[in-house]
Amino acid sequence: MDSVPLRERLIFALDLPSPEDAKAWVERLEDQVRFFKVGFELFLAGGFPIVEWIQNRGAKVFLDLKLFDVPETVRRATAQIAKRHVALTTVHGNDAMLKAAVDAKGPVKILAVTALTSLDQGDLHDLGFHCTVEDLVLSRARRALALGCDGLISSGLEIPRVRREVKDGLLLVVPGIRPVANVDDQKRTVDPRQAFASGADHIVVGRPIRNAAHPERLVEEILEQIEKGLRERARILADE
């Protein structure tokens, strides 16, 4: 992933209620950011036309729908997504669902969701998991790699162990990035420098940029932090 342009390392989350809102943000940031996430809210409002609009401006799209259904439905849904040539999409399911998505993925990269960054240890206990968040993420990382997934969605807190124990072969995309003090529903967060120093390939940032007094300035600061993290990661790898 060393060849990835800096402007594609940051994925801007278009978690917005309308295509018009999304287009305004793409037009505002496209000189700085060339990768955009389309999630449930925007996809329900704009469908594939908003995906194609972004692609037609020369930017990449991460379609984050977190597919979870019977394997055949996941396979068919993934096949539909593959026709649209998005760069990344997500599956949030068991081994059979992940395998079904891999079998139909075509050119799109499949990311397995490990543990949502809005969940902490207490939430996992409430859901019936009797293990640490880190152990759950690592287990899912190993299974995803074995099943042929291209990468993971994972908190930056678990990335160091994933990189140590799973090594190369997985694309790591980190949400829950908070460049400043966290005041929202994300619980397991890191800053951009920490994420890339730990081994992230991409980060996803939405609300901190949208809510910033000067969004473009914050994007520049994030890009600078990404460069620092990548240099730190290179030093770590050189010392191993």
What would the pLDDT profile of 211-239 be if each residue is shown by its tens digit?
Answer: 999 999 999 999 999 999 999 999 988 88
**Lookup result for tokens 């539909």:** 80
Binning pLDDT at 50, 70 and 90, where does residue 185 land? Answer: very low
pLDDT of residue 159: 85
Residues annotated in the binding site, as ranges?
15, 37, 117, 178, 186, 206-207
Cα gap 107→68, rounded to integer Å: 20
| In the chain, % of residues over pLDDT 70 | 85
pLDDT of residue 1: 57
**What is the Cα–Cα distance from 104 to 110, expressed in whole angstroms?**
10
Fold of 6-239: TIM Barrel (3.20.20)
pLDDT given at position 183? 45
pTM listed for this prediction:
0.89
pLDDT mean across residues, the chain: 87
pLDDT of residue 5: 96
Which residue positions form the known binding site for substrate? 15, 37, 117, 178, 186, 206-207
List the chain domain ranges: 6-239
Give the catalytic positions in this structure.
64, 66, 69
- The b-or-e profile of 5-16 (16+ CB within 10 A means b, else e) is eebbbbbbbbbb
- Residue owning tokens 């910033």: 212
pLDDT given at position 136 = 74
Give the amino acid at 72: E
pLDDT score, position 12: 98
Rounded to whole angstroms, the Cα distance separating 169 from 143 reads 12
More confident residue, 133 or 213: 213
pLDDT score for 180: 53
Provide the pLDDT for residue 167.
63
Cα of 217 vs its chain's centroid, Å: 22
The more confidently predicted of residues 125 and 176 is 176
**CA angle, 60 as apex, 137 and 68 as ends, to 5°?**
40
